[in-house]
Amino acid sequence: MANRGSSELVGPPLRPALIGEFLGTALLVLLGDGVVAGAVLLNKPSDTVMITTGWGLAVTLAVYLTGRLSGGHINPAVTLALAWRGGFPRSRVLPYWAAQLAGAFAGAVLVYADYAEAFRAFEQTEHLSRGVMAGGKLIGTAAGGAGVFATYPAFDTVWRNVLSEFLATAVLLVGVRALTDRRNAAPGGYVEPLALGGLVWAIGLSLGGLTGYAINPARDLGPRLASALLGWGPAVFLSHGGYFWIPIVAPLAGGLAGIALYDLAIHRHLPPEGQPSPPGELAP
């Protein structure tokens, strides 16, 4: 494992890297929240496959956009995990987080600007007023429209929701490490963003039903802040028992657990890069 927090790590200049993270996360949310908006507000036939495919492709395109410029993190959990293991300068963690959060906020505002008329029609049809709660929850389909932006759980059991986000993000970081580890069977090149998008697609299909698989604090908090300012108010933080903190804390912890598991169980046992794999096993 690399020396954690090494000051010798170098990367692209910080300013363009932050621009990359801002634009990449904005694109992620624009396309991801956009597919949810289309399904919820326009009452189009949709299912889990359509929404998870939209998010998977959003990740793919965002990594294609920013991979060489910033590393294509587009997720504070990824940034923190890479910094913890020494693969990313710790001094850049907070600036990256700020750029990611700002990008997610901007992406959500663009979704609202595009779908504003659909939001109004949806609220008229469903007889909804923004930010109204009953029984501790926002009233209406998709949390009264706020669910277009951020995640809200299917059930209100705190520890299960924490476990779901923790587990899904741990799987994400195990997969990210496997797909980018040159000592493993990493695809590399132009295929890597496709594989990362496929990873997010698989997580959404398999583990996303309980909480909406935020697996990304910026992707959830940025749009949640946007929805609060766009009329849903403090209810987006109070609804479902104050659920909002779970998709922030649990992914950060899950990402650290996932990257530690990969490094301890897989990476340290791999042959050096360039050395042939054992007979009968996949070559790098």
Contact (Cβ atoms closer than 8 angstroms) between residue 75 and residue 247: no
Q: pLDDT-based confidence at 201, cuts 50/70/90?
A: very high
- From CA 188, how far away is CA 274, in angstroms rounded? 14
**Band of pLDDT at residue 277, cut at 50, 70 and 90:** low
Residue 204: inside a domain, yes or no?
yes
276 located within any domain: no
Higher pLDDT, 61 or 1: 61
Q: What is the mean pLDDT of residues 264-277?
A: 82
Residue 208 in any domain: the answer is yes
* pLDDT for 281: 52
Percent of the chain with pLDDT over 90: 85
Helix (H, G, I), strand (E, B) or coil at 193: helix
Q: What was the pLDDT predicted at 9?
A: 56
- Does residue 203 form part of some domain? yes
What domain range includes position 237? 14-269
| 48-70 and 14-41 helices, crossing angle to 10° | 170
In this predicted structure, what is the pLDDT of residue 27?
98
* Range of weakest confidence among 7-21, 126-140, 243-257: 7-21
Average pLDDT score over residue span 205-213: 96
Any idea what the CATH number is for the domain that residue 244 is in? Answer: 1.20.1080.10
Tally the domains of the chain: 1
DSSP helix/strand/coil, 137: strand
Q: How far apart are the first and last CA of the chain?
A: 19
| Domain-embedded: residue 212 | yes
Indicate whether 261 belongs to any domain: yes
Q: Quote the tokens at residue 96.
A: 């990256």
Measured CA to CA, the distance from residue 260 to residue 39 in angstroms comes to: 37
pLDDT given at position 189: 81
* % the chain with pLDDT above 70: 92
Q: How confident is the model at residue 11 (pLDDT cuts 50, 70, 90)?
A: low
Is 72 contained in some domain? yes
The residue whose two tokens read 């997720």 is 75
What is the phi/psi pair of residue 129, to 5°?
-120, 135
Judged against a pLDDT cut of 90, whether residue 150 lies above it is answered with yes
Per-residue CA distances from 178 to 22, 31, 55, 257, 284 (Å): 25, 26, 20, 14, 11
pLDDT in tens, 237-256: 999 999 999 999 999 999 99
Give the pLDDT band of residue 280 (cuts 50, 70, 90): very low
Does the pLDDT value for residue 200 go beyond 90?
yes
> Do residues 98 and 73 make contact, with C-beta atoms less than 8 angstroms apart?
no
Structure tokens at 93: 């963690």
- Identify whether 24 is part of a domain: yes
